[in-house]
Amino acid sequence: MCILDLIWINLSMLAAEYKAVNLGQGFPDFSPPQFITEAFCKAVSGGPPMHQYTRAFGHPALVQSLAKFFSRIVGHDIDPFEDILVTVGAYQALFCAFQALIDEGDEVIIVEPFFDCYQPMVVMAGGKAVYVPLRPKEGTAVLSSGDWVLSAEELASKITPHTKAIVINTPNNPLGKVYKREELQMIADLCIKHDLLCFSDEVYEWLTYDGAKHVKIASLPGMWERTVTIGSGGKTFSATGWKVGWAMGSGHILKYMKTIHQNSIYHCATAAQEAVAQGFEREHELFGTPQSYFQQLPAMLHHRREKLASSLKGVGLQPIMPEGGYFMITDISSIGESVDFKDSDTKDENYDFRFVKWLIKEKGLATIPVSAFYSPEHSKEFDKYIRFCFVKENSTLDAAEEILKKWSQNESSH
Ligand SMILES: Cc1ncc(COP(=O)(O)O)c(C=O)c1O
Ligand SMILES: *[C@@H]1O[C@H](CO)[C@@H](O)[C@H](O)[C@H]1NC(C)=O
Ligand SMILES: *[C@@H]1O[C@H](CO)[C@@H](O)[C@H](O)[C@H]1NC(C)=O
C-alpha cells in the first residue's frame, strides 16, 4: 500500500517539475459558481459564531439542508441529527465508515477499478480487501463506460461468512461508469441475502451525461437500513479545497461512525459548512430548473468531455466515453509500441506507469495510470489504459490537444 501511495505523490511532483499540462488530478481549474463563493464570503463576514466551533457531527444549518434536499431523492425521511455525519471531505467519511464498521478479520468486497484509498482504509481497520473487477464486455467494441460490467456470479462467488460490506462508486472514478438500476438491484439483492453493508461513494452524483441517470442504492427497497452513502461538497460545488463531505444513512449505523469522528477530528470548519448549506438551500429551490448548478455543471462538462474525446480521436486514440464523473480513460496500447521509454530503471513497473512518466517528461502532459485503481492481483491485466481529467478550462484542454497533435505529426513524419 505504501509503494502505491508513493508513486501517486511522485507523479504529482513529476508533473510539477516538468510544468506539464495537468489532466491528472481530479479537480476543476476553473472557479466555483459565484453563488457559492459569495455564500462563503458572507459566512466569513457573518459574525462571531461563524468563526467558532459548531456542532461536532455537523453544523446544524448544513445537516438540515442536506436532510431536506436528500429526503426527496432517497424517498425516505432523513433525520438531520441522527442520519448524517459531516466530515472533512468524502475522504474522512470513507475513513470513518471503514474504521467504525469493519473489524479485525472482516472481508470487504471492492469493485475494481476503485478510488485508491479504499484498500489501505480497509487494511487500517484490520479488514481484508477482496476484489471483483468490472470487465469490458466481450465480443463488442467497447466505446462507453456502460460496456464495462460486473458479473453477478463473480460477485456472489466472493462472498464468504466473513464478508461485511461491498464498496461501490457510482459514477465511477476512473471509468465514468454510472450503475444502472438493475445493476444496483443485483448488488442490493446480495447485500440483503447475506446481510451485508454497502458503502456507496457518490461524490460525482450530479455529473451524468447523455441521459444516464444516477440512482442511489440507498433508495432501493431494504437498502436504506444497510447503506452508508458518501457525498462531497467539494465535488458538488467545484470547490474541492473546502473539504466538506458527509456520510448519510440510518442512525443505527451512523452512530458508530460518529464515535470515530468524535475521537479523531471532532468537527469540521464552520464557515465552509455554512456556505455548503446555503448552496444546498439554493439548489433545493432551483431543483430541476435550468438555473440549477446541478444542471449547469454537467452541461458544461458534457462539452468538455466532447472536446477531450475529439482531441484523443484526432490522434488515433479511442476514448471510452464516460457516462458520468470527471474522467475519461483511453487504451494506449496502439501508440505504445512506437514509444522508447529510455529509463531502464522503470522496466519492472506496469506499462501504464512507465507510459505516464514518459508522457510527462517527454511531452509535458500529465495523466494517471489506470492500473493504480486495481489490486496488485489484477493490475497487470488492466495496465494499458490512462486516465484524463476533463474538469478543466477550455484553454487547458486546448493545450493538451496541441501536445497530442504535435506528437502525432512528429510520429507520422518518421
Ligand atoms: C471516488 C472518490 N471518492 C472520494 C473522493 C474524495 O472526495 P473529497 O475531496 O470530498 O474528500 C474522491 C476525490 O477525488 C473521489 O474521486
Ligand atoms: C469553452 O468553449 C465552448 C465552445 O467553444 C464555449 O461555448 C464556452 O463558453 C467556453 N467556455 C469558456 C469558459 O470560455
Ligand atoms: C519530435 O521528434 C524529435 C526526434 O525524435 C524529438 O526530439 C522531439 O522532441 C519531438 N517533438 C515532439 C513535440 O514530440
**Annotated domain spans of the chain:** 3-31+292-413, 34-286
How would residue 336 be classed by pLDDT, with cut points 50, 70 and 90? low
- Average pLDDT score, the chain: 94
Mean pLDDT of 167-192: 98
Asked whether 238 lines ligand 1 (CB < 6 A), one says no
Give CA angle at 235 (129, 266), nearest 5°: 70
Nearest CA to ligand 2 atom 2: 394
SS3 116: coil
Whether the predicted pLDDT of 343 surpasses 80? no
Ligand nearest to the CA of 310: 2
Give pLDDT, residue 1.
42
pLDDT per residue as tens digits for the range 148-159: 999 999 999 999
* Mutation test residue for ligand 2: of 303, 306, 311, 391, the one with most atoms within 8 Å of CB: 303
60-74 vs 270-286: helix crossing angle, rounded to 10: 30
What is d(CA 172, CA 185) in angstroms, rounded to the nearest whole number?
Answer: 17
How would residue 10 be classed by pLDDT, with cut points 50, 70 and 90? confident
Give pLDDT, residue 402.
96
More confident of the two residues 102 and 338: 102
pLDDT per residue as tens digits for the range 16-63: 999 999 999 899 999 999 999 999 999 999 999 999 999 999 999 999
Fold entry, domain 34-286: Aspartate Aminotransferase; domain 2 (3.40.640)
Give pLDDT, residue 4.
55
**pTM, rounded to two decimals:** 0.95
Block residue for cell numbers 436528500: 70
Residues whose beta carbon lies within 6 Å of some atom of ligand 2: 303, 394
Asked whether 246 lines ligand 1 (CB < 6 A), one says no
Does the domain formed by 3-31+292-413 have CATH 3.90.1150.10?
yes
| Best CA proximity match to 24, nearest among 38, 2, 9, 36 | 9
How would residue 2 be classed by pLDDT, with cut points 50, 70 and 90? very low
More confident of the two residues 363 and 2: 363
Instruction: Name beta bridge partners: 369.
Output: 386
Q: How far is the CA of 271 from the centre of ligand 2 (A)?
A: 32
How would residue 6 be classed by pLDDT, with cut points 50, 70 and 90? low
Ligand nearest to the CA of 302: 2
Ligand nearest to the CA of 169: 1
What is d(CA 163, CA 165) in angstroms, rounded to the nearest whole number?
Answer: 6
Residue 303: all three cell numbers together: 462539452
